[in-house]
């Protein structure tokens, strides 16, 4: 997509937080001046965590998880955990998400894990998320 996020959401940056020194405000100002394909893992993680442009954050998170199911800014699986924390009514296509989660589940044993505990925690999170989207 070639439009900036502020153009997609019709944001007038002049009425935004220009005078703030908050790191979150600085991130937001940088975020709205990015194109969708410029969003990275940090941006998507913050978008989901802060509930900012949630529809776009979900879309990009699904893309990232499709390529790297263990993606996470803080730890392996962090992005999946953030996505799981979002209410299901925010997802446009639960069937697509469910298929992705099932694919990840079927490939769990192929991932490289730091230890067995990490694998178990991820598997439990994945099961909870699958149940959530199956309701």
| 63-96 residue pLDDT tens | 999 999 999 999 999 999 999 999 999 999 999 9
Total structural domains within the chain: 1
Is 86 a member of any domain?
A: yes
Is 31 a member of any domain?
A: no
Torsion 65-68-72-76 (CA) sign? positive
Is 10 a member of any domain?
A: no
What are the pLDDT digits (tens) for 104-117? Answer: 999 999 999 889 99
Is 8 a member of any domain?
A: no
Is 70 a member of any domain?
A: yes
pTM of the model: 0.91
H/E/C letters for each residue in 91-117? CCCHHHHHHHHHHHHHCHHHCCCCCHH
Cα→Cα distances 66→30, 99, 103, Å: 25, 10, 9
pLDDT at 3 over 80: yes
Output the pLDDT for position 39.
97
Give the structural domain span for 77: 39-134
Is 3 a member of any domain?
A: no
């Amino acid at each position: 997509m070639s439009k900036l996020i502020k153009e997609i959401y019709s944001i007038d940056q002049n009425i935004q937080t220009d005078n703030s020194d908050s790191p979150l405000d600085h991130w937001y100002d940088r975020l709205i001046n990015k194109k969708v394909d410029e969003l990275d893992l940090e941006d998507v993680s913050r978008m989901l965590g802060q509930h900012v442009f949630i529809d776009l954050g979900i879309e990009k998170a699904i893309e990232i998880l499709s390529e790297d199911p263990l993606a996470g800014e803080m730890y392996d699986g962090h992005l999946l955990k953030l996505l799981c924390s979002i209410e299901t009514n925010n997802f446009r296509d639960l069937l697509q998400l469910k298929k992705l989660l099932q694919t990840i589940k079927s490939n769990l044993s192929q991932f490289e894990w730091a230890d067995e505990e990490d694998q178990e925690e991820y598997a439990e999170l994945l099961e909870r998320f699958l149940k959530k989207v199956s309701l």
